[in-house]
A and B are shown apart, each in its own frame.
Chain A
Amino acid sequence: MTELFRAENLTMQFGGLTAVSGFDLSLCRGEIVGLIGPNGAGKTTVFNMIAGYYTPSEGKILFEGKVLNGKKAHEITKLGIARTFQNIRLFPDLKVIENIMLAYHCRIRSSFFGAVFHFPLYRREEEEMMRKAMLLLNEVGLAESAEEQSSSLPYGKQRKLEIARALGTGPKLLLLDEPAAGMNPSETQELLDLILRLKEDFGLTILLIEHDMKFVMRICERIKVLDYGITIAEGTPLEIQKDPKVIEAYLGEVRTC
């Protein structure tokens, strides 16, 4: 398997606070890797660095051989890294289908003049956006809600919509920030199936943050554990479950009497 993404010695300092230090990660194409750790361990900070919201204080991020440091969030999205957010961030007053169509907007070639005066190129592109958005909605099972306002969808569907919107940007690497948060067991199961299916259909590589351990253990091929910004363990789900350092980070030190 070829390498798609590599982070070397990533460090993020906010003033005197070091949120993440010496973070290394290599992702091969087609992998699903989990990033876990207690609250405040720096998981989302890692995402924000990769997605271009923070500029790392130290270290290097490589994606398909290109250095991402210093690139803006929208540029990184165009290069092929899409993300979802811990707290769902849809565009509430826009329709479901418009939320998805917007994901294609970053790749249209029409100028805004073309859009205002309905040049043939724009018309074609708009139809194409609509068609692709509809396909994507079908794929995640939201086609019948296409004309609804996104804020009127139930929570589980909003999650799916956010994932679909991220897919609309045409990513190779998908960053999912707590996709299963707030879901009941059957919804979680459904989401798990969906993610696995999308991964195959779109040829994705996935990096995900999750607190639901069952979910992580079942979906991830490899797991990385962060605590206080430092990587404390790395390995297969089975290895992680037995790792004493991980148990300590989550449950506290084991006291022997």
Chain B
Amino acid sequence: MDPHRKRNQALSLAAIAVVAAVLYFADSGASDYQIRILNNCAIFAALAVSYNLINGVTGQFSLGPNAFLAIGAYTSALLTMSPLEKELSFIIDPVIWPLNEIQTPFYVSLLAAGSVSALFGLLMGFPVFRVRGDYLAIVTLGFGEVVRVVANNTQSVTNGPLGLKGIEAHTDLWWTSGFALATVFFVGRLVRSSYGMALKAIRYDETAAEAIGINTFWHKMLAFIVSAFFAGIGGGLLAHLITTISPSLFTFFLTFNLLIIIVLGGLGSTTGAVLAALLVTWGGEALRFVEEPMQIGPLDIPGIPGMRMVIFSLLLVLMMIFARQGIMGTREFSWNAVFSGIRRLQRGPGKAK
């Protein structure tokens, strides 16, 4: 179809190689803090892409990714922790069978995290997709809270509010960047296929989608389950990055962060989700200085924790007023667009049509 397919594939491979080289040097040369930021960037990019599949592409305003992240994080953490570690951690109630005996390799725990999360997505989907629009948002918001509260109260499974400590730090740059790449590849391909077009059709006009024979319920379910699967793995990676998890980590705040990212990137754009995830994650670190005590002229401002979120919120408000489309709108990155952009620049702005 595309005459430039070979060239584009070569360029994509080259780009991946460049990123891999950068990561290789970062892995050995960068400080722990910098590596931590890179890891966060990669995980959040993948999470944003998967969240965008249901919220942006399919247009179903779900507010429950924190539930999937929590499920994934707990599943994989409970699987990689050694039986001894679990015995020591669960001081109030001992952990139930078979979790007290099981220990699996990291990759198995991640697959399990994705699968369990996808299964929850399937079960949740039945009540969730009985409603639309605002109601759907409220129902998913509710499920997000339910998962957190359950995690808080099932002492013998999740260790309750004490959380899980001493999770081994398996997550490294290769895991996170590999996961981000796999997510972008999978979701990107899905969106470009006829299944993806059907998802977009549901966003534009569900009635018309039904009229041309699209089973809207199962297509929405498909997007939801795929989204849950990747969010679950992301949760697993996050757990093995920060090594300590507790229910308070998976509040609505996490969902809100992801929501900012996909809105900033442009709802429906995978490219936008990645760009915005990098921007917000890096920006969150870069903006740390605003929370420190400052002296501006005669003004002595004490450190205000949470100031960064105020800035992000303001950013979101400004975007809603001036650039509702976000960074990318619904467009996607493509080499062809880059080349036609370069050609336009070469021709000069005057002659551009």
Contact = CB atoms under 8 A, between A and B. Distances in A.
Interface stretch (A84-92, A139-147, A241-249): A84-92
A89 B208 contact: yes
A112 B214 contact: no
A105 B198 contact: yes
A98 B197 contact: yes
B204 interface: yes
Interface string B178-216: 000000001001100111011011001101111111111
Interface string B204-234: 1101111111111000001000000000000
Contacts of B190: 112, 115-116
A44 interface: no
A27 interface: no
Contacts of A53: 207, 210
A46 interface: no
B204 A102 contact: no
B199 to A, nearest CB: 10
A168 interface: yes
B330 interface: yes
A36 B13 CA distance: 61
B336 to A, nearest CB: 13
Interface in A69-108: 72-74, 77-78, 82-83, 85, 89-94, 98, 101-108
Contact of B212 (A106, A118, A122, A129): A106
Contact of A117 (B189, B194, B222, B330): B189
Contact of A105 (B189, B197, B222): B197
A165 interface: yes
B215 A94 contact: no
A112 B211 CA distance: 21
A103 B207 contact: no
A77 B212 contact: yes
Majority SS of interface residues in chain B?
A: helix
B212 A166 contact: yes
Nearest to A106: B213
A131 to B, nearest CB: 12
Contacts of A126: 193-194
A98 B193 CA distance: 11
Interface residues of A, number: 39
Nearest to A103: B212
Contacts of B205: 89-91
A115 B194 CA distance: 8
A169 B194 contact: no
Contacts of A77: 210-213
Contacts of A105: 194-195, 197-198, 212-214
A206 interface: no
A51 interface: yes
A87 B200 CA distance: 20
B87 to A, nearest CB: 40
A68 to B, nearest CB: 14
A160 B175 CA distance: 51
A126 B212 CA distance: 17
A101 B194 contact: yes
Contacts of A122: 193
Given A89-B205, A94-B201, A112 B210 contact: no
A108 B330 contact: no
B137 to A, nearest CB: 22
A74 B213 contact: yes
Nearest to A104: B194
Contacts of B209: 91, 102
A94 B200 contact: yes
Interface of A: 51-53, 72-74, 77-78, 82-83, 85, 89-94, 98, 101-108, 112, 115-118, 122, 125-126, 129, 165-166, 168-169
Given A83-B211, A104-B194, 4 more contacts: A93-B204, A93-B330, A105-B194, A165-B212
Interface of B: 186, 189-190, 193-195, 197-198, 200-201, 204-205, 207-216, 222, 330
26 contacts: A52-B210, A53-B207, A73-B210, A74-B216, A82-B211, A82-B212, A83-B211, A89-B207, A90-B205, A91-B200, A94-B197, A94-B201, A94-B204, A98-B197, A101-B197, A102-B214, A103-B213, A105-B197, A106-B213, A106-B214, A112-B193, A112-B222, A116-B195, A126-B193, A166-B212, A169-B212
